[in-house]
Every structure is written in structure tokens, then in C-alpha cells.
Structure 1
Amino acid sequence: MMASFPTAEKAADLLALVRGRRPRVHCLMNTVVQKFTADGITAIGGIPSMTSSEEEIESFVTKTDALTINLGTLDEARRKVIRIAVTIANRQGKPWIVDPVHCDYSPSRLEFAHELSRLHPSIVRGNAAEMAVIGDVGGALRIQTGAVDSLSDVDRKVRIVNGHALMAKVTGTGCLSGGIIAAFMAVEPDAMLAAASALTVTGVSAEIAARHASGPGSFEVAFLDALFNLKSEDILSHARIEHDED
């Protein structure tokens, strides 16, 4: 069967599913952006949890629907918890996404990112510099973020053109998008459709938020409001999804 390509209609349908099902997303997240990420996941209808406690991680991952891992603030204790979480998620067949933040800065961080990429994540997502050093991600969906987000798997190449430059001026918008992708993976097993739809939702919301913002501070608040208030017609009117089809 030919793989489906993402559409604005699919993005609108999946957003409605997220809001209806309220999936649980566990976040092993950069500590700098935990609140913003939790607020954003909540705004689109998900239920976030954030603990990185070794004694609690098994219980939390068991109860979650999807897992997002971000290497932004990394130490040995967090590495251990991430390994436990990934083992449980894989054992229980739960989707997970890894964002190898700053793996181009540190050899040890890159080594850990490579370790995770070999453990069968659903998605590996990073900026151009990070993905250049990550290289092959096996069977995972590969997402390279930037002014245009590029997604590729074995069968499909997709570009999400939506977004706004103010996203780069607020710490954590990328981390938040990883959490939103996880929420969409909880309701859509096709990682490409889930991720492209989630990035479309975040990109359109950012464009709407920018209309009401005078700078990064007001944009952050407006962005959360836009995620919460986003309507299907906003997605259908403003989505810019491009793809290559053989």
C-alpha cells in the first residue's frame, strides 16, 4: 500500500483527536523549558508529565501514551533515566521522539545521541548542525528543523513551510514542538503524518500569534493562546505543506 502524504485536512483531524482523547505525554525535557513545554502540551489538549526521578520513571512511562526526550540539560543521572524510559517504551510499544540538542557541541553528548538513535525511536529531530553529525537514523523518521522543517522517511519527503521568525527568539519553542509531536504520535501511528500535522499546527499557531506580538515576551503568551484557540479552518486556510511524490 502506498504511504499517505500529510495534508491540512489530516492535521485538523489529528488536532481534534488529540483534544478529544487527551493523550498523556511524558517529557524527559530540558529543565530550562519544562513549564513552557507543559503549558503548550496542555494548551493543545494533552496531559504532560515531567518527572526524571529514577524511582518513578517506570510508573510514569507505563501510564503515558508517548514519550519525548530532549538532551538539552544532560548529566549522568538523566542519561540513566532516559535509558530506563526508552527500555520501557520499547517493551510496551509506545512511540518516542528524541531531540539531540547540542550534540554537535560535545563528543559525549553525540555518542549518547547515537546510542539513542540505535534504540529504534519513532522520530529523531534536530537542527541542521545536529542532524549533520547524527547522520543515519535507521528506520526512524528524520526531521531537520529550520525556517522550513524537512521530514523524511523511507518513502516520503515533506516540508512544512509554516512558522514565524519569532519562534527562534523564545527559548523552548522547538522543545515544545517535540512534545506536541509526541501528543500527535499518541493518536496517529504513522510518524510522518503525526509529525507533519503537529508541526503544521505549531507553525500556523506561531503565525497567528505573531500578529498580536510586539516581541518575544508577548509572542510566548500569544503562542500558547493560539495553540489553545486554533480552529480547523485556521489550519485549512493557512497550512503550507509541500512534498515530493514519485
Structure 2
Amino acid sequence: MTDITSAPNRIDAFAVARVIARVRDWAPRVHCITNTVAQNFTANVLAAIGAVPSMTVHADEVASLVESADGVLINLGTLDPERRAGIEAAVQAARANGKAWVLDPVKVDRVPLRRAFALTLIKQAPAIVRGNSGEMTALFPAIAAATGTAFAVTGARDSLSDGTRTVLVDNGHPMLARMVATGCALSGLIAACRAVESDSLLAAAAATVAWGVAAERAAIGVAGPGSFAVRVIDEIGAMDTPTLERHALISRG
């Protein structure tokens, strides 16, 4: 078990396990504006870990749901006009009510208009930004300049940082790349962890480790991506402290 920082800000297997345990104990409400492809899977993953998801995108309803939520996810996939309006309302409500929110900048490296929108959102202080290497590279100068924002670059090896500390996570499985919405679901888990943990880097690390360990366990003897999707939800639902402490692969960046 590797300490990334000295107590009380250490990030190790024990620390990430405590965050996951708090998610189960506290059942945080997480409001997600996510893409149509990911809604069902993300909701089921959140419910399995013990959080309470809501998924409304309509701008007239979003503010009330964000106000009563403990965490918020903003995902830029399938960014139609209704979702854009809902996102703007959600971020405004989150900031007005002191709610930490997570940004998942889906495909900003391929869609210039989406990248421009993401850059405006980063100026509004997300607690955490999570994306793949292409997405995060497209936004990196803005993310690096954002005060108080942690970021997670996920892939074969996950790299997470808050500008001062860097954590590498080596949990995961190639099967995650063979199905859609796995990154979106991870962002939902990050929002749930941030709802119960004020250290954004620790929250992101806890979700990333738990997701990676669940994927490793789900892939054992699995027939293919379809059954893997079901089993990874089962493994998130069964995730506990001994499993995380035994399997977490965390190191200093």
C-alpha cells in the first residue's frame, strides 16, 4: 500500500477505500447531464455503488435537482440545444449553491464548437475534469491554468493531478475499451466520490481505482463485451474495503 502524500492528505488504497465506503453509507444524490448513449449505464453504475442518480436535462427542472443534489456531472456527449441549455442552468445552479461539479469533455478534440463550450465551462471552476488523452490534450492549457481544478487523464494508465500532487493508477482492463459509456460511467463515479470527499484528487483516485478493480474482476472468464457490461455493474455493487486494499495499484507520478 503506497502513500502518495503524507497524512492527512495521503492517497493510498486505504484512503480510496474509505471514500467508497462513505459513498455507500451516505448515498449521495448525483445529478447527471450526460449523453443519450450513456444515461442508462451511468445510472445503473451509480445505483450499484450506492448513490442516487437523477438524469433530467430540461433547463426548467435542472436547477431544482442540482440544488437538492450532493454532486453534479456535466458530460458533453450528444450536445444538442436542450442539453446545452440544461448544462448552462446546471452549472449556474451548482455555483450558486456551492455544489462541486465534474466535467467530462467528450470529443472536444474532434468538435471545435464543443471544445469552445468546454473552455467556457472550465472558467466556471469544475472540481474535476476527466477525459481521455486526446480530449485532455485539447483542453490542457485551460485546465492547467484553472485554480482548484483537479484533472484525470484516463486510459491504459490513468494519470491524475491537482497541479501539486500527481497519482498514477494502473487498475483496469482492455475490455473497457470494447464497449461504450465506460468513461462516462467513471465520470459519474467521480462525481459521487466528490460528493462525499472534499479532496478532489482523492475523490477522483477513489472512483478510478474502484472502476479499474471492478473491470479487472468482471473480465475474469467473461464471454465478451455484453456480459462484461453486466458483470462490471455487479462488481461495482460488490466493491468493498478489503477488495480495494488488496487490488489497488496506485503510485506517485
Q: With structure 2 as the length reference, what TM-score do the two structures score?
A: 0.94
Q: Identify the residue that residue 116 of structure 2 maps to in structure 1.
A: 111
Q: Identify the residue that residue 224 of structure 2 maps to in structure 1.
A: 215
1:155 deviates by: 1.3
CA–CA separation in structure 1 for the residues paired with 2:34 and 2:234: 22
Q: Identify the residue that residue 139 of structure 2 maps to in structure 1.
A: 134
CA–CA separation in structure 2 for the residues paired with 1:33 and 1:130: 18
Q: Identify the residue that residue 245 of structure 2 maps to in structure 1.
A: 236
Q: Is the partner of 1:73 in helix, strand or coil?
A: coil
Pairing partner for 2:88 from 83, 87, 109: 83
CA–CA separation in structure 1 for the residues paired with 2:178 and 2:139: 25
Q: Structure 2 unaligned segments of length 5 or more: list them.
A: none
Q: Where has structure 1 moved over 3 Å in runs of 4 or more?
A: none
Q: Identify the residue that residue 14 of structure 1 maps to in structure 2.
A: 19
Say what the alpha-carbon RMSD is for the aligned residues: 1.3
CA–CA separation in structure 1 for the residues paired with 2:102 and 2:194: 9
Confirm or deny: 8 A CA contact 2:21 2:240 kept in the other structure: no
User: What is the letter of the counterpart of residue 134 of structure 1?
Assistant: L
1:157 deviates by: 0.7
1:154 deviates by: 2.2
User: What is the letter of the counterpart of residue 244 of structure 2?
Assistant: I
Q: Deviations for 1:105-157, whole angstroms, at most 9, x for unmatched residues?
A: 11111100101111100011111111111122112111111101101112101
Confirm or deny: 8 A CA contact 1:34 1:50 kept in the other structure: yes
Q: Is the partner of 2:163 in helix, strand or coil?
A: coil
Confirm or deny: 8 A CA contact 1:212 1:222 kept in the other structure: no
CA–CA separation in structure 2 for the residues paired with 1:46 and 1:103: 28
* 2:62 counterpart of 1:57: yes
State the number of aligned residues.
Answer: 244
Confirm or deny: 8 A CA contact 1:57 1:84 kept in the other structure: yes
Confirm or deny: 8 A CA contact 1:5 1:156 kept in the other structure: no
CA–CA separation in structure 2 for the residues paired with 1:75 and 1:152: 31
CA–CA separation in structure 1 for the residues paired with 2:54 and 2:90: 13
Q: Is the partner of 1:80 in helix, strand or coil?
A: helix
CA–CA separation in structure 1 for the residues paired with 2:83 and 2:75: 10
User: What is the letter of the counterpart of residue 167 of structure 1?
Assistant: L
User: What is the letter of the counterpart of residue 152 of structure 2?
Assistant: I
Q: 5 Å matches for 1:1-246?
A: 4-135=9-140, 136-137=142-143, 138-139=146-147, 140-244=149-253
Q: With structure 1 as the length reference, what TM-score do the two structures score?
A: 0.96
Q: Is the partner of 1:214 in helix, strand or coil?
A: coil
1:231 deviates by: 2.1
Confirm or deny: 8 A CA contact 1:68 1:179 kept in the other structure: yes
